């Protein structure tokens, strides 16, 4: 018999990995987050707001929203906390490449994104 994991062990582990990718873990208020959670949001078309992903943020953690650096352009990114506020200059924050904003939210889906340039990327980073 060969040393190492059995075929069954390998299949079980592969199923676990696939489920993690397809359905990222959700954290309840009492669970501890043992790692940083990062999600990427892309504004595909300028002027079309995009909602953040449905990922819970545990109590005591903050969410850092950062506009990724873009090589050939410097888009003006917009972040707000309602779909209507994204178009209002008073109720939104504007970010340039590499700029970040730290917020206390209970779910990443509370954030809305837009940009003055197509294909603008943002990162949402949850950490203690």
**pLDDT at position 23, please?**
53
Domain map (residue ranges) of the chain: 29-127
**pLDDT at position 72, please?**
75
CATH architecture, domain 29-127: Sandwich (2.60)
**pLDDT at position 36, please?**
75
Written as one string, the DSSP assignment of 58-86 is: -TT-EEEEEEPP-SS----EEEESSTTGG
**pLDDT at position 42, please?**
93
Report yes or no: 75 and 97 within 8 Å, Cβ to Cβ.
yes
pLDDT digits (tens, 9 = 90+) for 106-128: 999 999 999 999 999 999 999 87
pLDDT digits (tens, 9 = 90+) for 15-71: 777 666 555 555 554 455 566 788 999 999 999 999 999 999 988 889 999 999 887
């Amino acid at each position: 018999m060969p040393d190492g994991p059995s075929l069954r062990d390998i299949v079980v582990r592969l199923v676990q990995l696939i489920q993690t990718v397809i359905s990222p873990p959700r954290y309840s208020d009492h669970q501890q987050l043992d790692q940083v959670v990062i999600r990427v949001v892309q504004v595909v078309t300028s002027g079309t707001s995009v909602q953040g992903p449905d990922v819970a943020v545990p109590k005591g953690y903050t969410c850092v929203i950062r506009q990724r650096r873009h090589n050939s352009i410097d888009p003006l990114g917009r972040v707000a906390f309602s779909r209507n506020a994204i178009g209002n200059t008073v109720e939104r924050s504007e970010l340039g490449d590499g700029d970040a904003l730290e917020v206390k939210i209970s779910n990443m889906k509370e954030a809305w994104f837009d940009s003055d340039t197509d294909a603008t990327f943002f990162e949402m980073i949850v950490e203690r």
